[in-house]
Amino acid sequence: MSSEVRNLIVVFMPVALPLKKMSRDEKLRAMEALWADLSKDDDRFESPAWHAQALREAERAMKNGKAKFSDWEEAKKRIRRKAANLA
């Protein structure tokens, strides 16, 4: 079996982490390990077209004075409210 086929199999294999049993520190370390692995070959991947469009729109809003900025603490509260509604 080629490494490409093995990689495809790994991508689609379900991953079960004992999230309910993991401490916050363990979860953060798992996220850091995932990010380190994902970012080691990030130069091989291009951002999707929608991302460039979103950046252009944000820049245009800033130039036109229409961009809205949030205090970090308020932004975290808003994100947490939205995340709670998704759960």
How many structural domains are present in the chain? 1
* SS3 assignment for the chain: CCHHHHHHHHHHCCCCCCCCCCCHHHHHHHHHHHHHHHHCCHHHCCCCHHHHHHHHHHHHHHHCCCCCCCCHHHHHHHHHHHHHHHC
In tens, the pLDDT along 13-56 reads 677 889 999 999 999 999 999 999 988 988 888 888 999 999 99
Please state which of the ranges 1-10, 45-54, 68-77 shows the lowest mean pLDDT: 1-10
Averaged pLDDT, 49-68: 93
For residue 9, pLDDT over 70 is answered with no
What is the residue range of 68's domain?
Answer: 3-86
Averaged pLDDT, 69-80: 93
Looking at residue 7, its pLDDT comes to: 52
Looking at residue 1, its pLDDT comes to: 47
